[in-house]
């Protein structure tokens, strides 16, 4: 079952595209976090979404939100994707145990072997403030990210 608004977000520790360990708890000690699950690197919809989020990174950061992207791809694949498309965001590998973090958030699609297209805005206290999702072949609405972060900022 997908984690819902108001729930405490599961903690996680994953390696990014550079092999560095990134922990949810460490991220939340600094700022709110937008955790963006994507099915697979290099796929068209995922690439479009991540490119848009990458371009919006500074706006989110100025609102006190860090964006991280999680997929079941290996760190090597995520590094290649980052270099090919100039992605500055942290791309986190949920490769092994396969999809464990996606499972903890309730978004792992067992029949497909990857995560659904779901994002979680988590405040500094670790509470899920918003859940944004779309069907696999459809991008999430960027306006939903803007609304969620605006709401988070106004609640502070």
Length of the chain: 156
| Fold held by 13-155 | Glutaredoxin (3.40.30)
| Tens digits of pLDDT across the chain (156 residues) | 889 999 999 999 999 999 999 999 999 999 999 999 999 999 999 999 999 999 999 999 999 999 999 999 999 999 999 999 999 999 999 999 999 999 999 999 999 999 999 999 999 999 999 999 999 999 999 999 999 999 988 876
| Catalytic residue positions, numbered | 46
Amino acid 2: pLDDT: 86
Amino acid 153: pLDDT: 83
Question: Global pTM?
Answer: 0.96
Domain residue spans in the chain? Answer: 13-155
Amino acid 35: pLDDT: 98
Burial 32-70 (b: 16+ CB within 10 A, else e): bbbbbbbbbbeeebbbebbeebbebeeebeebebbbbbb
DSSP string, the chain: ----TTSBPPP-EEEETTS-EEEHHHHHHHSEEEEEE-S-TT-HHHHHHHHHHHHTHHHHHHTTEEEEEEESS-HHHHHHHHHHHT--SEEEE-TTTTTHHHHHHT-EETTTTEE-EEEEEE-TTSBEEEEEEE-TTSPPPHHHHHHHHHHHHHH-
Amino acid 26: pLDDT: 96
Amino acid 37: pLDDT: 98
């Amino acid at each position: 079952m997908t984690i819902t608004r108001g729930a405490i977000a599961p903690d996680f520790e994953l390696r990014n595209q550079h092999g560095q360990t990134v922990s949810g708890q460490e991220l939340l000690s600094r700022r709110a976090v937008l955790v963006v699950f994507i099915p697979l690197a290099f796929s068209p919809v995922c690439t479009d979404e991540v490119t848009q989020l990458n371009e919006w990174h500074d706006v989110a950061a100025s609102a006190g939100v860090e964006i991280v992207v999680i997929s079941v791809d290996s760190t090597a694949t995520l590094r290649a994707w980052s270099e090919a498309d100039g992605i500055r965001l942290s791309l986190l590998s949920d490769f092994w145990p396969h999809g464990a973090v996606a499972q903890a958030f309730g978004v792992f699609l067992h029949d497909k072997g990857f995560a659904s297209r779901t994002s979680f805005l988590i405040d500094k206290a670790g509470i899920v403030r918003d859940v944004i999702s779309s069907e696999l072949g459809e991008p999430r609405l960027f306006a939903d990210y803007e609304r969620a972060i605006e709401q988070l900022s106004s609640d502070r």
